[in-house]
Amino acid sequence: MSVEKPVVSLADLCSRYEGLLVPDERQGFEGYLISPDHLISFCRSLRDDVGYDYLSSVTGVDNFPAEQMEVVYHFYRTTGGPSFNLKLQVSRHNPVVPSLVPLYPGADFQEREAWDLLGIRFEGHPDLRRIMMWEGFEGFPLRKDWREPFFEDEAKPFKSRWPDGQVIRSEDQNPYKNNVRYPNDFDPEQWTPVGDDALYKGMLNLSQNIQSEFKTDQIVVNLGPQHPSTHGVFRMVVVLEGETVLSLKPVMGYLHRNHEKIGERNTFLQNMPFTDRLDYISSMSNNFGYALAVEKLMGIRPPERAEYIRVMMAELTRFLNHIFSIGFLLNDLGAFFTPALYAIEERELILDVFEAVSGSRMMCNYFRFGGVARDLPDGVLEKIKELVNDRLPRKLEEFERYLTKNDLVRIRCEGVGVLSPEEAIALSAAGPILRASGVPYDVRRADPYSIYDRFDFDVAYGLHGDIYDRYLVRVEEMRQSLRILKQVVRDIPEGPIMSGKPQYQARVPPGEAYGRVEGPKGELGFYVVSNGKPNPWRYHVRAPSFINLTSLATMAKNQKIADVVAILGSIDIVLGEVDR
């Protein structure tokens, strides 16, 4: 996060690697291709000399039927600016690439995910296990030649629906036990999870060499998957010495539905309501990110009024998400539901706005490529004005009076779960987590999208990187959201809300695009590859709460077991987005 000029400019570095670094010249693609042998040395220079210190996204693309697998990296500078895209092409038969975890520890879960779903082996990864699917699962589901047991067709719309549709229910076609495919010699009754024992043993070994004055036993405890404090089905395996956490590993995937495979079967437009189900607390933001990515590919921009409506909805979403997450953080601290319900009151009023505008409280499905679904109905703008100018600031102040100086909150939160700025950047933390650690990085400011460059607002950041700072950053962000909203409701122009005619089949030219927004939970990115057909060839979600979990182990180390619950609450995860 140094602000000094980089030692080497990007052009210099690229010329130093001339011949080894080839520009990606396919139409609609950008960035560079590099061979696996030079990846590590190039990335070291990229990070240390040029200042691309933030690895935002790692993912793979299966170029079936070509015998080729592609790994795509998106690097950013935490001082702001556009991305640097790097790609590796390896054989699809045995894709092996060097792991970037030693350089960018934030690649940990993302590489595991690419291994799990695409079968790309990352050499040198310290813990390359499946992350979403269970150990023993056969095949790599995101590969194009992998078919689900209830497979109907490569892409929607399915032919059976029209013109001679006879209703079929998938559960009749694939009755219970036929809807999953097991390896040949697999008996679910006899099977015991093999991965778990190894995981426990490995974790105990890791922490064995700690010297203690007293002879104590270390024990492994599973927090979850069914545990009220995990905000869903999420498991933390912790090694305890007394009450102190020696090491922690998150285990997720219990809610996995292969969102990306579904997305690749869907048409571009059909993905819009599915993005609502990622982070179901803040569906408007998810719509925003996906719409941006596809609009980049299509080369269109929404009209003025639609831009204002989009920003308005995104900021209302940020407010409701933060107030909700603070309410539930207090739940985790033991203030059972009183603060949470006060937060829900305000959230409810914002949801009323969403319902009036989009028709649904949580699954909004409101954004379209090139605009929004419908204009604000009568009276909604007045209601938003009432909320923004009167109710929400008043309630936010009351909320602060209630909690900010509360001694119990401070004792539980100050100095707990500390993440240093260097760690936060290295671990690819995003959103309030990154900013609370003292890195004032906000996509709205660092790489402005939509019309955020027009509004006056400050980027909230903390100095200590503890739970209390994350709380304060969220409170300040709500205040800044209200500040943006006040400008929006003042300036919103009249006019059309869609550019072009609404079309149920978006025509998307071939190419790739990475659209990212500053969602309430952090940087939410959508990596979309089109090959000119009605369905996306690759659809990848850079889920902020999934990647923020990479830093959970660092935050929880040497903390008390009771505080781990609070630390997890302060990361603010939604399992719909973590597991996808």
Partner 1 sequence: MNGWGIIQGLGVTLKHFLKTYLEDIRKGKGRYFTEEGVRERSASSVTGVFTVQYPEEKLILPEEFRYLPFLVYDELPDQERKIRCTSCGICAKVCPPQCIWIKRAIDPDTGRPKPTPAEFYIDVDICMNCGFCAEYCPFDAIKMDHDYEIASFDRKAEHVYSMEKLLKSASYYEEIRPKNFAREEAARLEKEAKTS
Q: Which residues bind partner 1 (CB under 8 A)?
A: 156-158, 160-169, 266-267, 269-274, 338, 342, 345, 348-349, 352, 355-360, 363, 365, 373-374, 377-378, 383, 386-387, 390-391, 398, 401-411, 502, 504-505
Whichever of 39 and 498 has its CB closer to partner 1, that residue is 498
Whichever of 129 and 464 has its CB closer to partner 1, that residue is 464
Nearest residue to 333 via CA among 38, 574, 563: 563
Whichever of 208 and 404 has its CB closer to partner 1, that residue is 404
DSSP 88-153: EEEESSS-EEE--TTT-GGGHHHHHHHHHHH--EEET-TT---SSSPTT--S-TTSTT---TT---
Q: Least distance in Å: CB of 265 to partner 1?
A: 10
Whichever of 346 and 442 has its CB closer to partner 1, that residue is 346
**Can you say how many angstroms the Cα of residue 128 is from the centroid of all Cα atoms in its chain?**
20
Q: Least distance in Å: CB of 391 to partner 1?
A: 5
DSSP state of 508: -
Q: Least distance in Å: CB of 423 to partner 1?
A: 29
Whichever of 360 and 531 has its CB closer to partner 1, that residue is 360
Q: Least distance in Å: CB of 506 to partner 1?
A: 11
Q: Least distance in Å: CB of 11 to partner 1?
A: 44
Instruction: For residues 102 and 147, give the distance between their C-alpha atoms in angstroms, rounded to a whole number.
Output: 34
Whichever of 85 and 270 has its CB closer to partner 1, that residue is 270
Dihedral of the CA atoms 134, 136, 141, 144 (nearest 10)? 170
Instruction: For residues 25 and 30, give the distance between their C-alpha atoms in angstroms, rounded to a whole number.
Output: 7
DSSP state of 539: E
Whichever of 13 and 392 has its CB closer to partner 1, that residue is 392
- Which single residue is written with the structure tokens 């419908």? 374
**Can you say how many angstroms the Cα of residue 318 is from the centroid of all Cα atoms in its chain?**
15
Q: Least distance in Å: CB of 405 to partner 1?
A: 4
Q: Least distance in Å: CB of 452 to partner 1?
A: 26
Instruction: For residues 444 and 80, give the distance between their C-alpha atoms in angstroms, rounded to a whole number.
Output: 10
Whichever of 269 and 300 has its CB closer to partner 1, that residue is 269
What tokens appear for 529 in the block? Answer: 């590859």
Q: Least distance in Å: CB of 486 to partner 1?
A: 15
Q: Least distance in Å: CB of 313 to partner 1?
A: 14
Q: Least distance in Å: CB of 460 to partner 1?
A: 21
Neighbours of 367 (CB within 10 A): 30
DSSP 238-266: EEEETTEEEEEEEE--TT---HHHHHHHS
Q: Least distance in Å: CB of 263 to partner 1?
A: 10
3-class secondary structure, 221: strand
Contacts of 198 (CB under 8 A, 6+ apart): none
Whichever of 355 and 423 has its CB closer to partner 1, that residue is 355
Q: Least distance in Å: CB of 80 to partner 1?
A: 36
DSSP state of 440: -
Peptide bond into 440 cis (omega under 30): no
Identify whether the C-beta of residue 331 lies closer than 8 Å to the C-beta of residue 230.
no
Nearest residue to 86 via CA among 98, 70, 99, 66: 70
Sheet holding 522-530, edge to edge: 511-519, 522-530, 538-542
Identify whether the C-beta of residue 293 lies closer than 8 Å to the C-beta of residue 515.
yes
- Which single residue is written with the structure tokens 């082996």? 121
Q: Least distance in Å: CB of 164 to partner 1?
A: 5
Whichever of 135 and 390 has its CB closer to partner 1, that residue is 390
Whichever of 203 and 357 has its CB closer to partner 1, that residue is 357
Instruction: For residues 448 and 111, give the distance between their C-alpha atoms in angstroms, rounded to a whole number.
Output: 28
Nearest residue to 206 via CA among 109, 106, 123, 127: 127
Whichever of 283 and 437 has its CB closer to partner 1, that residue is 283
Whichever of 403 and 524 has its CB closer to partner 1, that residue is 403
Instruction: For residues 91 and 127, give the distance between their C-alpha atoms in angstroms, rounded to a whole number.
Output: 23
* Residue 98: HSE in the Cβ half-sphere, 13 Å Cα cutoff: 15
